[in-house]
């Protein structure tokens, strides 16, 4: 089974990491023009949020 993590980056997107490789980057700020995916808008609007890691599956 794959190890799946969600890494909420400080002041940035949520990264879905599968077996140590970034699979997707999801918008957390709500300003992305490519929602559900991050397009870097968080940097332009000054989005602030704490970092946090969540392990979804682990063998």
- For 13, the 3-state DSSP assignment is coil
Question: Is pLDDT at 1 greater than 70 in this prediction?
Answer: yes
Check: CB of residue 44 under 8 Å from CB of residue 38.
no
Tell me how far apart the alpha carbons of residues 47 and 56 are, in angstroms, rounded to a whole number.
25
Give residue-wise pLDDT tens across range 2-53: 899 999 999 999 999 999 999 999 999 999 999 999 999 999 999 999 999 9
In the predicted model, is pLDDT for residue 54 greater than 80?
A: yes
Q: Give yes or no for residue 55 having a pLDDT over 90.
A: no
Q: Which CATH number fits domain 4-57: 3.40.630.40, 3.40.50.170, 3.40.50.1820, 3.40.5.90?
A: 3.40.5.90
* Cβ atoms of residues 56 and 1 within 8 Å: no
Q: Sign of torsion, CA 12 18 20 22?
A: negative
**What predicted TM-score, i.e. pTM, was given to this entire model?**
0.86
Average predicted confidence (pLDDT) for the chain: 94
């Amino acid at each position: 089974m794959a190890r799946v993590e969600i890494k909420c980056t400080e002041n940035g997107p949520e990264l879905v990491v599968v077996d140590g490789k970034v699979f997707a980057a999801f918008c957390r700020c709500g300003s992305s023009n490519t929602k559900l995916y991050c397009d870097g808008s968080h940097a332009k609007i000054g989005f602030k949020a704490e970092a946090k890691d969540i392990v979804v599956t682990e063998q």
